[in-house]
């Protein structure tokens, strides 16, 4: 979908504005908070929503100079936001997936030198052009699912040169797809390279982070805090760096075991804590009191045959929840955000308004994006048209209903 300038969006059967969800700041939502309006037009001036008003009231003077976009009966919602992807890497791990299907465990594959380090080796060897070609194909795939904002993490370089190469790929992708919004996240703290201790690598990578930021500025940093990965101490040091550099902090938290990293992330002002498969009850309460977004990644749980994150407990406690793909070669090879929404609705028992918030304003907040994720005056004009069902009706529920369509 093109970046919008001066346009009138009209002829949609219904428009989901997200008004109630914005009013409630994306928390404590019931199904009836999913509000839609029929027969309205959306007026866009200079890429921002100027007005949402009944089509009958749009006179000639209001239409003047606007390009008409005819919805032909489709439904309109804010553009989908995928707030957690590992977009840039080379190679795939289909062979390992076959082994897993034949009964070999993820840990056994890692012991044989496979897993994340397979991707690190392939990414280090790949040229920037090769990485760019792969990233471009992936962005087109995300676009085909209605995604208009995409977060892109590095994390398969684990050295200065390769992390920089991956950040530069995102810079190039931005130029190729000006109609989309990309949020760059540096994640050299994704794993520990072979043959180096965690302490040595953490110290080294914290030093090169500043150089990376200078060469190819990014909006956020992320760190994998878990058993055999990085520690609470490392997270505190990275949080201090992020504060000084004025970049957002994100945390891969409580994925493999419960370490309490979700609660610590919230205390340190992280914009989001992600995964949360093993989050503790006190940390659920901690998150609910904070502005930190709980980003849940149901595709990863499914791919790893793990129970889903406790979405209901988080939502009932009052936490703000986002849903994302976690697209990556090892634990979720999918950019199908509508499928994650389906999993959220059906298997994590999120009501449709909660799912809507999870891929619009809550996902925007997880990326520090203001004025995005609703069709209201002042918001950025960024839309997704929703599928029309076999009955000829277009609605938000159609997205949830179409399973991996
Ligand atoms: Zn991830």
Q: Quick: pLDDT tens for 33-68.
A: 999 999 999 999 999 999 999 999 988 888 888 999
Higher pLDDT, 3 or 154: 154
Is residue 183 assigned to a domain? yes
* C-alpha to C-alpha distance for 399 and 279, rounded to whole angstroms: 29
Q: How far is the CA of 253 from the centre of ligand 1 (A)?
A: 10
Is residue 218 assigned to a domain? yes
Q: Are residues 117 and 18 in the same domain?
A: no
Q: How far is the CA of 247 from the centre of ligand 1 (A)?
A: 18
Q: Are residues 174 and 304 in the same domain?
A: yes
Q: How far is the CA of 190 from the centre of ligand 1 (A)?
A: 8
Is residue 176 assigned to a domain? yes
Q: Are residues 40 and 14 in the same domain?
A: yes
Strands ordered across the beta sheet of 220-225: 80-82, 147-153, 181-189, 220-225, 248-253, 272-275, 293-296, 320-323
Q: How far is the CA of 66 from the centre of ligand 1 (A)?
A: 41
Cα 119 to Cα 99, 134, 188, 230, distances in angstroms: 16, 14, 14, 19
* C-alpha to C-alpha distance for 320 and 308, rounded to whole angstroms: 17
CB-based burial label for 107 (10 Å; 0-12, 13-18, 19+)? exposed
Is the pLDDT reported for residue 3 higher than 80? no
Q: What is residue 114's predicted lDDT score, i.e. its pLDDT? A: 84
Is residue 2 assigned to a domain? no
Q: Are residues 196 and 338 in the same domain?
A: yes
Is residue 177 assigned to a domain? yes
Is the pLDDT reported for residue 126 higher than 90? yes
* C-alpha to C-alpha distance for 85 and 153, rounded to whole angstroms: 6
Average pLDDT over residues 207-226: 97
Q: How far is the CA of 68 from the centre of ligand 1 (A)?
A: 39
Is residue 278 assigned to a domain? yes
Q: How far is the CA of 204 from the centre of ligand 1 (A)?
A: 22
Q: Which parts of 91-165 are beta strand (E)?
A: 147-153
Strands ordered across the beta sheet of 383-386: 36-38, 14-16, 75-78, 383-386
Q: Which three-class secondary structure state does DSSP give residue 30?
A: coil
- Residues 6 or more apart whose CB falls under 8 angstroms from that of 98 comprise none
* C-alpha to C-alpha distance for 219 and 107, rounded to whole angstroms: 33
Q: How far is the CA of 42 from the centre of ligand 1 (A)?
A: 35
Is the pLDDT reported for residue 105 higher than 90? no
Is the dihedral angle over the CA atoms 113, 160, 257, 366 positive or is it negative?
Answer: negative
Q: How far is the CA of 187 from the centre of ligand 1 (A)?
A: 10
Is residue 293 assigned to a domain? yes
Average pLDDT over residues 118-131: 97
* Total of domains in the chain: 2
**Residue 391 φ/ψ region, left for φ over 0, alpha for ψ in the -120 to 50 degree band, beta for the rest:** alpha
Q: Does an H or E element contain 22, and which?
A: helix 19-23
The answer to whether the CB of 287 falls within 8 A of the CB of 273 is: yes
Residue-range definition of the domain harbouring residue 133: 80-365
Q: Are residues 96 and 223 in the same domain?
A: yes
Q: Are residues 177 and 43 in the same domain?
A: no
Q: Are residues 98 and 220 in the same domain?
A: yes
Place of tokens 């810079």: 171
Q: Are residues 167 and 100 in the same domain?
A: yes
Q: Are residues 231 and 93 in the same domain?
A: yes
Average pLDDT over residues 206-212: 96
Q: How far is the CA of 210 from the centre of ligand 1 (A)?
A: 22
The predicted-structure confidence for 259-268, as pLDDT tens digits, reads as follows 999 999 999 9
Place of tokens 């976690």: 326
Q: How far is the CA of 285 from the centre of ligand 1 (A)?
A: 23
pTM above 0.85, yes or no: yes
The predicted-structure confidence for 61-85, as pLDDT tens digits, reads as follows 888 889 999 998 899 999 999 999 9
Termini Cα distance of the chain: 20
Q: How far is the CA of 115 from the centre of ligand 1 (A)?
A: 14
Phi, psi of 371, rounded to the nearest 5 degrees: 55, 35
Q: How is residue 182 written in tokens? A: 């990309």
DSSP H stretches of helix in 294-376 = 298-303, 311-317, 337-346, 352-358, 361-365
CATH number at residue 87: 3.20.20.140
Q: What is residue 4's predicted lDDT score, i.e. its pLDDT? A: 53
Cα 349 to Cα 56, 163, 324, 372, distances in angstroms: 39, 38, 16, 25
Q: What is residue 1's predicted lDDT score, i.e. its pLDDT? A: 45
Average pLDDT over residues 351-359: 98
* C-alpha to C-alpha distance for 154 and 226, rounded to whole angstroms: 18
What whole-number percentage of the chain has pLDDT above 90? 89
Q: Are residues 254 and 168 in the same domain?
A: yes
Q: Are residues 22 and 94 in the same domain?
A: no
Q: Are residues 198 and 54 in the same domain?
A: no
Is residue 1 assigned to a domain? no
């Amino acid at each position: 979908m093109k970046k919008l300038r001066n346009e009138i969006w009209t002829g949609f059967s219904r428009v989901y504005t997200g008004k109630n969800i914005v009013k409630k700041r994306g928390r404590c939502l019931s199904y009836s908070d999913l509000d839609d309006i029929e027969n309205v037009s959306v007026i866009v001036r200079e890429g921002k929503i100027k007005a949402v008003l009944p089509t009958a009231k749009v006179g000639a003077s209001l239409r003047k100079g606007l390009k008409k976009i005819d919805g032909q009966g489709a439904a309109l919602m804010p553009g989908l936001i995928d707030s957690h992807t590992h977009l840039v890497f080379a190679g795939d791990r289909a062979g390992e997936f076959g082994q897993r299907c034949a009964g070999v465990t993820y840990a056994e594959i890692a012991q044989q030198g496979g897993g994340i380090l397979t991707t690190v080796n392939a990414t280090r060897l790949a040229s920037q052009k090769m990485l760019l070609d792969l990233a471009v194909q992936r962005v087109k795939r995300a676009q085909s699912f209605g995604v208009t904002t995409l977060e892109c993490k590095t994390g398969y370089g684990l050295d200065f040169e390769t992390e920089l190469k991956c950040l530069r790929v995102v810079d190039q992708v931005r130029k190729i797809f000006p109609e989309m919004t990309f949020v760059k996240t540096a994640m050299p703290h994704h794993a520990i390279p072979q043959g180096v201790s965690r302490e040595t690598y953490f110290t080294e990578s914290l030093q090169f982070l500043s150089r990376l930021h200078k060469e190819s500025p990014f909006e956020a940093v992320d760190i994998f805090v878990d058993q055999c990965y990085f520690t609470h101490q490392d997270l505190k040091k990275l949080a201090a760096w992020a504060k000084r550099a004025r970049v957002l902090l994100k945390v891969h938290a409580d994925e493999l075991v419960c370490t309490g990293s979700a609660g610590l992330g919230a205390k340190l002002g992280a914009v989001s804590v992600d995964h949360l498969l093993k989050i503790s009850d006190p940390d659920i309460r901690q998150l609910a009191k904070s502005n930190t977004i709980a980003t849940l990644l149901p595709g990863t749980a499914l791919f790893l045959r793990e129970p889903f994150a406790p979405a209901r407990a988080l939502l009932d406690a009052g936490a703000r929840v986002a849903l994302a793909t976690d697209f990556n070669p090892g634990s979720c090879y999918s950019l199908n955000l509508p499928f994650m929404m389906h999993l959220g609705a059906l298997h994590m028992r999120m009501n449709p308004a909660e799912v809507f918030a999870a891929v619009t304003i809550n996902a925007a907040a997880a990326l520090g994006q203001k004025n995005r994720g609703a069709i209201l005056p002042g918001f950025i004009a960024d839309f997704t048209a929703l599928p029309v069902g076999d009955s000829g009706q277009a609605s938000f529920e159609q997205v949830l209903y179409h399973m991996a369509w």
